[in-house]
Amino acid sequence: MNVKNNISNTIYLDYNATTPLEDEVLETITDALKNTWGNPSSSYPEGEKAKATITTARKQVARSINAQSSDIVFTSGGTEANNWVIATAIEHFERTQVKSQHQGEHRLKPHIVTTTIEHDAVTLPLINLKDKGEIDVTFVPVDKECRCVTVDDIVNAILPNTCLVTIMMANNETGVIMPIKEISEKISAMESESLRPLIHTDAAQALGKILVDVEDLGVDYLTLVGHKFYGPRIGALYVRGLGEGGAPLYPLFFGGAQERNYRPGTENTPMIAGLGKAAMIANDDLKSISEHMREIRDYLEKRLLAEFGDSKVKLNCSLAPRLPNTSSVSFIGQNMEGYKVLQNIKGFVCSTGSACHSNECKPSQVLLNFHVPFDIATNTIRLSTGRSTTKEDIDAVVKELKDVISSLSEIAI
């Protein structure tokens, strides 16, 4: 599936932002809209058919991350899943503390450990709760040498009242992969009188690009987002041992008994079916998908270096373990701000992390937190390739970038 804009026939290089529906996924959704429209909670044939469709999708999602189907709960997307984990960890801490607390003892405030490079769906709810005085948060910085968070820095941030450690599996702006498995192993091996904190990873950018195995990762919770792997805009939350003495999960909403009383509301059967199909494709074709993305990404970066040289272009975090499809690219020099580059591009689309208002342009705080210098971060665009991106596409992109950068250089003189 080669994604082109139907009007301008532009090349799409913003797959980390969202992906189109895979053809098989669209067919699955369409079929479900036509044939499994019944209420999954109803016992008559139409309802039973819808329920069976959801059961199949749950198994497909579970298989894609090596989980049990009973450990999967469907959500509206990654934001809900991440907020749900945070709320659950806080409530579990409060319930546990009440049970274990002696009369008259001072109650501790729940503490959460995260990083400075998380998605807003994690960062903003934590800041909101912290500002309201409900929790304490430690934002662990990225190590300047390895360009990722280190295991020791995460473990050293854990306190007796730490109820949750939440770290993204791979960063959406740089593609850098975090050492989730090693962090989980170290936390699980900690000897402490306090309860082990729950462990969550937002894997929105990971599925369909790299292996996602919850048993290997050792996490209690994992967030999946359909529209990042050619599926619909819903999500799923993995909860280790859900309902069987594993990680806790407390409802955010109250109403019906859907999703085993964890998430009320009549299930969105067509989108759930599409999510299952997308997860199945991402898992079954992972090797070929990942290899193709890496080949195209590497070709892109080699072409950029060949055309501009390392004195004019910088590949941010390129030495760190990265997703196979992501390049954070900065052009060196005056008048090279990322938003200006994008304003002059006509033949392809990508993104920039800069927030620009009037004549002021502030670089992405995430890039700054990855220790990218201010002026370099300001001049950054993100190019993220997809399953069908070709070398011919890359040749066209690099050619246009060369023309645009040349034009901006002349204006700066």
pLDDT digits (tens, 9 = 90+) for 42-92: 899 999 999 999 999 999 999 999 999 999 999 999 999 999 999 999 999
* φ, ψ at 97 (rounded to 5°): -65, -40
- The label of the residue with tokens 């960890």 reads 89
- 236 lies in the same domain as 353: no
Calculate the alpha carbon distances from 261 to 211, 244, 302 in Å.
31, 14, 52
Tokens of 279: 């997860």
Q: What is the three-class DSSP state of 399?
A: helix
List the alpha helices (DSSP H) in 132-174.
Answer: 151-156
pLDDT mean across residues, the chain: 92
Calpha distance 195→161 (Å, rounded): 8
Catalytic residue flag (residue 356)? yes
- 227 lies in the same domain as 320: no
Among candidate residues 265, 294, 314, the one where a domain is terminated: 265
- 71 lies in the same domain as 204: yes
Can you give the pTM of this predicted structure?
0.94
Among candidate residues 265, 294, 311, the one where a domain is terminated: 265
Is residue 89 in a domain?
yes
Total domains in the chain come to 2
Catalytic option among 146, 350, 356, 361: 356
* CATH number of the domain residue 389 falls in: 3.90.1150.10
The pLDDT value given to residue 117: 97
Among candidate residues 232, 265, 298, the one where a domain is terminated: 265
3-state helix, strand, coil in the chain (%, to 5): 40, 15, 40
Amino acid code (one letter) for 59: K
- 133 lies in the same domain as 249: yes
- 226 lies in the same domain as 309: no
- 257 lies in the same domain as 373: no
Is residue 29 in a domain?
no
The pLDDT value given to residue 7: 46
- 317 lies in the same domain as 404: yes
Report the residue count for the chain. 413
- 260 lies in the same domain as 360: no
pLDDT at 219 over 90: yes
The pLDDT value given to residue 103: 47
- Domain of 260, in residue numbers: 67-265
- 233 lies in the same domain as 330: no
- 248 lies in the same domain as 291: no
- Helix (H) / strand (E) containing 287: helix 286-308
